[in-house]
Amino acid sequence: MEEVLLNNKSGKKFILLGNEAIVRGALESGVNFVSTYPGTPASEIGNIFFKIGQKAGVYFEFSTNEKVALEASVGAAFSGLKSLVAMKNFGLNVCSDALIPVMYTGIKGSLVLIVAEDVGCWSSAQSEQDSRAYSYLAHIPTLESSNPQECKDFTKLAFEISEKFKIPVMVKTSTRVAHQRAPVQFSNYEVESRKIGRFVKNPKRFVTLPPRVLEMKKELLEKIEKIKEFSEKSQINKGRIPAKADFGIITSGISFLYVMEAEKELNLDLPVLKLGFFYPLPEEKIKKFIKNLKKVLIIEELEPYLEKEVKMLAKEINCKLKVFGKELLSEVGELRPEVVSSAIATIKNKKYQPKVYNLKSSIAKRFPRLCPGCPYWLVISAVKKAVNEKEVIFGGEIGCYMLFGHPPIRLQDYLSCMGSSVGIAHGIKKVSPQKLITFVGDSSFFHAGIPALINTVFNKSNPLIIILNNLTTAMTGHQPHPGAPATPDGIKIEDIVSACGVKNLKVIDPINQEEFTKTVKEFLEKDEVSVIIARRPCIFVKEKYTSGDISRSRSKYEKK
Amino acid sequence: MKKNKKDFNLIIVGTGGQGLITLLQILAEAALIEGYEVKTSELHGLSQRGGSVEVHIRFGKEIFSPLVSQGKADLILGLEMQECLKAYYFSNPQTIFLINRYLIPIPLQNPISENEILKTIKKITKNIEIVPAVEICQKELGTNVVAGIYLLSLASFKNLIPLQPKSILKAIKKIIPEKYLELNEKAFNLAKS
């Protein structure tokens, strides 16, 4: 795949995954700097740049978390380069603190954010958020792609808008777009050599101090007005203005594909307005579209953002218009082609009822599970030997060890976002005398666990934190992290824990069951926070690195 | 057999790690070789860890949705028998089930017997074929990792997919890394005989 993405066969078609098409789009745009924190369904973007970056003359890094990744790309864009930062939806929450002020300052080169939603939670715990809310919150121009070709084209367009208006631009995908495969037509691309940036001092531009900050907000809103004019003319908002029809559809993203399929299936030829821009919306175009309609159906996944916008516009231009949306389409989970067909059929008074077979067979849910030979099994076994599970609270987090919540393991009493297992553990321990063991992965620890650990020391609570150190970011496909052996001079987790002031600290290979069990029992009795670093490489890391490499990370906390 | 049909809808079911995505890549490439429009949908990450996996591929003259609609599957390729039951949502009386005789037990659950699975699917369609792909590959090639390739090739030779075997072979050569190619070609040829 790497060779395909780097070729210069302009005009030819190649089958690409949505994420691969984004990489190609960035390359065709001449991207110089890419940063990311892995997260499904966006992970492949980073994985590919990790492999081809050097060859393509693109600087690439796996940053410690999404906020840091965005900041890195902002720095490069401040210095005049073309930057791209990729993340899954929750990454946008993590980086939002950095994003909002950067919208005020703007950038010098260009900056594109790729954000992959996971509608239906196919590979996410935590929530089913609709990140379009950030488009409003941050005033970030937002494009929504529906297929791999658009993934490539919209990424390029985002770079153009970003460069033209000196503003970060977001391209949104979802699992069904990012992990959709289809032929994509390539445009011209020549490998360029690595580019050097230059930061030119301009405090008026890059410093958000009051009172200047309010002027900056005004400037941002003016930029958005100009981009709105651009959006009004843009070909990515496309639709036939209905001449005689009294019913039309407004849609965007993956939903558009289901609408097209429904038209085919129901043998209809409806006016459809497909919006490539979510923010700023081409309001005039929408008004023209709805002006003479009697009914309009808004087909969008999750929250009714477009529906609300259209209802407001209808008040101005066509107050009798009936706007349909969420009364026919759920706000929970993904849309599916038959669901969209059914909604359209309902309004058109057409018959559409796929036959439902009720098999009444007991099909057990096949939970994803830890790989056979996974070192986490050893941790589970030692913990189960050490404590009465019913009497201890177990904190969970994001990573392979999320699966501790499934049978037969069931060592998970709460689960939220990255880094939260330790933060919540502290709160529980401050108010309850119950014993508590919380798990946090190595990559999660670097991502957001460290401030929470410091808080347990600073504000004095005594959970037992087990850092599952498998030397990789396993769940998302074995990306390196700051403490992984693939990283030269990897940072030792025990050095950080120790520097945070944790006194009860042991690094144990969980193959030493007796020692692990004994330490769990002993540490649960402590009055101060305690940490066990369960160090044993993921079986896939083991294949890559010999034990010699792993032993490099031995330290004074480890039994010699 | 189904050449004149507008779209072809195929679903592959199995469990994470059985190579479903590779099969999907091969099919997509073969469809492109034959000049069809093609779209697939697949799942990565959490669902790969031995959980149930269901991937979709659609090809034809004009394809929009990457997902197969309810009751619209032409063929269901089952790499694991119990998983086939979960594909009922996509099947209709004309749907063909081509099933690998292979059971991966679900922890804490008694496996559902082959008979029971057959009986259940028969309530929807009579077009069911169970193939001992794992056994055949193990016996003839000494490994069952290519059972999916064998089953896919078989579907092509049996005309259950409107894609010619030579296109499938061409796609295998394009998608499979060189060091595993010979084994995969052998599995393809095994399906021919």
Tokens coding A287: 């008004």
Contact call for residues B50 and B16 (beta carbons, < 8 A)? yes
Statement to judge: residues A226 and A281 lie in one domain: no
Among candidate residues A233, A251, A273, the one where a domain is terminated: A233
| pLDDT tens digits, one per residue of A140-199 | 999 999 999 999 999 999 999 999 999 999 999 999 999 999 999 999 999 989 999 999
Instruction: Note the helical H segments in A417-486.
Output: 420-431, 442-444, 450-458
Percent of chain B with pLDDT over 70: 95
| ipTM score | 0.94
Structural domain including B49 reads: 7-192
* Structural domain includes residue B117: yes
Statement to judge: residues A522 and A410 lie in one domain: yes
* Structural domain includes residue B169: yes
Q: What is the domain count for chain B?
A: 1
The pLDDT, as a whole number, for residue A241 is 73
Please give, rounded to a whole number of angstroms, the shortest distance from the CA of B102 to a CA of chain A. 15
Statement to judge: residues A450 and A526 lie in one domain: yes
Among candidate residues A217, A233, A249, the one where a domain is terminated: A233
DSSP string over A109-163:
SEEEEEEEE-TT-SS-SS----THHHHHHHT--EEE--SHHHHHHHHHHHHHHHH
Closest residue on chain A to B15 (Cα): A366
- DSSP, collapsed to helix, strand or coil, labels residue B116 as helix
Cβ separation B42–A182 shorter than 8 A: no
Residue B125 has pLDDT above 80, yes or no: yes
Statement to judge: residues A329 and A273 lie in one domain: yes
Residue B47 has pLDDT above 70, yes or no: no
Report residue A444's pLDDT band, with 50, 70 and 90 as the boundaries: very high
- DSSP, collapsed to helix, strand or coil, labels residue A541 as helix
Closest residue on chain B to A16 (Cα): B25
A363 touches chain B (CB under 8 A): yes
* Structural domain includes residue A369: no
Nearest-angstrom CA–CA distance, A158 and A148:
15
Statement to judge: residues A148 and A293 lie in one domain: no
Nearest-angstrom CA–CA distance, A403 and A407:
9
The pLDDT, as a whole number, for residue B4 is 44
* Structural domain includes residue B97: yes
Q: Please, what is the average pLDDT of chain A?
A: 93
Cβ separation A122–B38 shorter than 8 A: no
Residue that wins the pLDDT comparison between B52 and B72: B72
* Structural domain includes residue A354: no
Q: What is the domain count for chain A?
A: 3
Cβ separation B85–A359 shorter than 8 A: yes
CA dihedral A237, B28, A14, B167 (to 10 degrees): -140
* Structural domain includes residue A366: no
* Structural domain includes residue B11: yes
* Structural domain includes residue B1: no
Statement to judge: residues A157 and A171 lie in one domain: yes
Residues B8-34 have a mean pLDDT of 95
* Structural domain includes residue A370: no
The pLDDT, as a whole number, for residue A369 is 84
- DSSP, collapsed to helix, strand or coil, labels residue A54 as helix
Query: What CATH number should be reported for the domain holding residue A175?
Result: 3.40.50.970
The pLDDT, as a whole number, for residue B51 is 83
| pLDDT tens digits, one per residue of A208-224 | 999 999 999 999 999 99
A12 touches chain B (CB under 8 A): no
Statement to judge: residues A75 and A187 lie in one domain: yes
Q: Please, what is the average pLDDT of chain B?
A: 92
* Structural domain includes residue A559: no
Chain B residues lying within 8 Å of A41, measured CB to CB: 44-45
Cβ separation A180–B40 shorter than 8 A: yes
Chain B residues lying within 8 Å of A124, measured CB to CB: 46
Residue that wins the pLDDT comparison between B4 and A46: A46
A337 touches chain B (CB under 8 A): yes
Please give, rounded to a whole number of angstroms, the shortest distance from the CA of A465 to a CA of chain B. 24
* Structural domain includes residue A222: yes
Report residue B128's pLDDT band, with 50, 70 and 90 as the boundaries: very high
Among candidate residues A172, A207, A233, the one where a domain is terminated: A233
Statement to judge: residues A254 and A202 lie in one domain: no
Residues A445-465 have a mean pLDDT of 98
Output A386-393 pairs: Cβ under 8 A, ≥24 positions apart: A386/A516, A386/A517, A386/A518, A386/A520, A386/A521, A386/A524, A387/A435, A387/A437, A387/A520, A387/A521, A387/A524, A391/A434, A391/A435, A392/A434, A392/A435, A392/A436, A392/A437, A392/A524, A393/A428, A393/A434, A393/A435, A393/A436, A393/A437
Burial A330-351 (b: 16+ CB within 10 A, else e): eeeebbbbbbbbbbbbebeeee
A402 touches chain B (CB under 8 A): yes
Percent of chain A with pLDDT over 70: 94
Statement to judge: residues A268 and A201 lie in one domain: no
Chain A residues lying within 8 Å of B15, measured CB to CB: 366
A524 touches chain B (CB under 8 A): no
Residue type, B10: L
Residue A556 has pLDDT above 70, yes or no: no
* Structural domain includes residue A381: yes
Residue A364 has pLDDT above 80, yes or no: no
Statement to judge: residues A330 and A389 lie in one domain: no
Structural domain including A472 reads: 376-551
**Crossing angle of the two packed helices A305-317 and A283-290, in degrees rounded to 10:** 70
The pLDDT, as a whole number, for residue A424 is 98
Residues B31-56 have a mean pLDDT of 86
Please give, rounded to a whole number of angstroms, the shortest distance from the CA of B17 to a CA of chain A. 10
Nearest-angstrom CA–CA distance, B13 and B104:
13
| pLDDT tens digits, one per residue of A462-517 | 999 999 999 999 989 899 999 987 666 789 999 999 999 999 999 999 999 999 99
* Structural domain includes residue B2: no
Query: What CATH number should be reported for the domain holding residue B149?
Result: 3.40.920.10
* Structural domain includes residue B42: yes
The pLDDT, as a whole number, for residue B72 is 95
Contact call for residues B8 and B27 (beta carbons, < 8 A)? no
* Structural domain includes residue A256: yes
Residue A554 has pLDDT above 50, yes or no: no
The pLDDT, as a whole number, for residue A283 is 98
Statement to judge: residues A86 and A163 lie in one domain: yes
* Structural domain includes residue B141: yes
Cβ separation B66–A41 shorter than 8 A: no
The pLDDT, as a whole number, for residue B45 is 65
The pLDDT, as a whole number, for residue A543 is 57
Nearest-angstrom CA–CA distance, B9 and A556:
59
Task: Count chain A–chain B contacts defined by CB atoms under 8 A.
Answer: 146
The pLDDT, as a whole number, for residue A240 is 78
Statement to judge: residues A223 and A276 lie in one domain: no
Strand order in the sheet with A180-185: A13-17, A180-185, B37-41, B52-60, B7-15, B75-78, B96-100, B128-131
Chain A residues lying within 8 Å of B124, measured CB to CB: 357, 359
